[in-house]
Structure 1
Amino acid sequence: MLYFNVVLEVNALSLVAPLSNFRSTRQASCLGEATARTAVVKVARLSRRAGVIRISGLVYHETRAVLRVFMANPIRDAVTYTEHAHRKTVTGVDVLFAFKPQGRILYGFEL
């Protein structure tokens, strides 16, 4: 659960902007829009790698929701392995061990 707490703290800190600087205020207000744009680009890149040529605009929101559900358990397991080892950094081995119980073995990484 350490991962989710850190993300929430970072997001809360990035939304705070000084009132005297217009650029900082503008950047803080566009934070959600920028995140949505980058998510669209990342989903399109993943789709292109899978062989998809054209993507409907309605697919992006659904894809983000499916990826969030799919990655929730491995992320939680990887963070659990990290906390059990008394570390603050999630390693590749933690991720490999997190995917193994789900039957999704990742090849190309050394243990």
Structure 2
Amino acid sequence: MTERIDLDQFNEITKGTWEVIELPSGGIDIGVLIYGGHKPVVNFTQRMGEQVKQIERDVADMNAIASVPELIAELRRCYELIDELENPSHEDERYPEPDELTPSNSSRAGADWPSGPSM
């Protein structure tokens, strides 16, 4: 297995849903909208904002940056799921014990029927 990204390094990122916010001045912030304002994470000046809006790749990059918290959260969930699948807890009721997987003879289909035709 490849080495995992240490997600703990991102624990202190700005909380909230990040968005691309176009400012009245022409600049662009990537940040979190809060009560009547916003908290910027990344700021593009007016001049830079006007430039990046014209370049498709730069717009895609801004959207990618705004998605960082969601991507980290999703990767964290994936790591947890992988860990759970690779190391299932035997105490977890979602994972039956091996002897619980094999039905007893009395519950098998046809177990109550005679073994052969009666004559």
TM-score, structure 2 normalization:
0.30
Larger Rg: 2
Greater helix content: 1
Q: TM-score if structure 1 supplies the norm length?
A: 0.31
